[in-house]
């Protein structure tokens, strides 16, 4: 049964970032109080950067117990850290560089290794989330992120799950390397089962160019091959869309 997402209409990217930062702080506090840890998969792209920068300001930086936060990424480009296209580097410059956290809390996708990065990251997820372990069986096979931050492209993609690609239908692997014809580039991405397995999914979407995709992804006929962000309609947890317009 599809879930019913919460749609939060914001007055531009700044307001969207404040609302998303408040949600981040609240979700982190709940997770830390329950299990002394908070796992978040950061989104790539530009929209979340103002959120990341806001979280590093005096107004927010003291409101999260950062030592308890484990940072992952929803996807990564196949470039080295430091490359301008690197989602890790964008988040590091905007937020992580300002935090005092153990190095082991940063779980970077090693995009520079190409396909191999997917296998390595999948192993890292299995180890960190103790997948397949624990009694009584069946032990969890899918990681449960406390928060999955996602963007959406004007074509309805999310993470690096692009329209018409095999990633849309992937239901076994946790992480995969995908060649995106439109970009003529390889990407590493969490797969639909991992995205849908998060306790909380938060979309951050702004821009006139996304108007049509937004309407289709939230209200349109279920056609995930055309609008991959629709996969979150069948997520386990709560889905919230922070958007810059009424839809």
* Residues contributing to the site for ligand 6PG (CB under 6 A): 43-47, 74-75, 87, 151-153, 157-160
Residue 149 CB, nearest distance to ligand 6PG (Å)? 9
CB closer to ligand 6PG, 28 vs 41: 41
CB closer to ligand 6PG, 27 vs 50: 50
CB closer to ligand 6PG, 103 vs 208: 208
Give the CB-nearest residue to ligand 6PG. Answer: 151
Residue 234 CB, nearest distance to ligand 6PG (Å)? 19
Q: Phi and psi (nearest 5°) for 122?
A: -60, -45
Residue 209 CB, nearest distance to ligand 6PG (Å)? 8
CB closer to ligand 6PG, 27 vs 189: 189
CB closer to ligand 6PG, 70 vs 210: 210
Residue 41 CB, nearest distance to ligand 6PG (Å)? 10
Residue 137 CB, nearest distance to ligand 6PG (Å)? 34
Cα 211 to Cα 168: distance, rounded to the nearest angstrom: 21
């Amino acid at each position: 049964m599809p879930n019913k997402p919460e749609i939060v209409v914001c007055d531009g990217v700044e307001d969207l970032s404040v609302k998303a930062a408040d949600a981040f702080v609240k979700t982190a506090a709940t997770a830390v109080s329950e299990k002394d840890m908070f796992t978040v998969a950061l989104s790539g792209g530009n929209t979340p950067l103002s959120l990341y920068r806001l979280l590093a300001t005096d107004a927010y930086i003291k409101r999260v117990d950062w030592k308890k936060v484990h940072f992952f990424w929803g996807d990564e480009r196949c470039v080295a850290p430091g490359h301008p296209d690197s989602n890790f580097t964008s988040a590091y410059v905007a937020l992580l560089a300002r935090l005092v956290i153990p190095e082991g809390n940063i779980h970077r996708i090693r995009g520079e290794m190409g396909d191999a990065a997917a296998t390595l990251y999948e192993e890292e997820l299995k180890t960190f989330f103790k997948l397949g372990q624990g009694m009584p069986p069946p032990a969890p096979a899918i990681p449960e992120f406390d928060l999955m931050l996602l963007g959406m492209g004007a074509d309805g993609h999310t993470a690096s799950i692009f329209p018409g690609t095999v990633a849309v239908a992937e239901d076994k692997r946790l992480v995969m390397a995908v060649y995106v014809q439109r970009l003529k580039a390889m990407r590493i991405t969490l797969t639909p089962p991992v995205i849908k397995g998060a306790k909380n999914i938060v979309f951050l979407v702004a821009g006139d160019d996304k108007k049509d995709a937004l309407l289709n992804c939230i209200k349109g006929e279920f056609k995930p091959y055309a609008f991959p962000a629709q996969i979150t309609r069948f997520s386990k947890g709560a889905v919230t869309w922070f958007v810059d317009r009424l839809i």
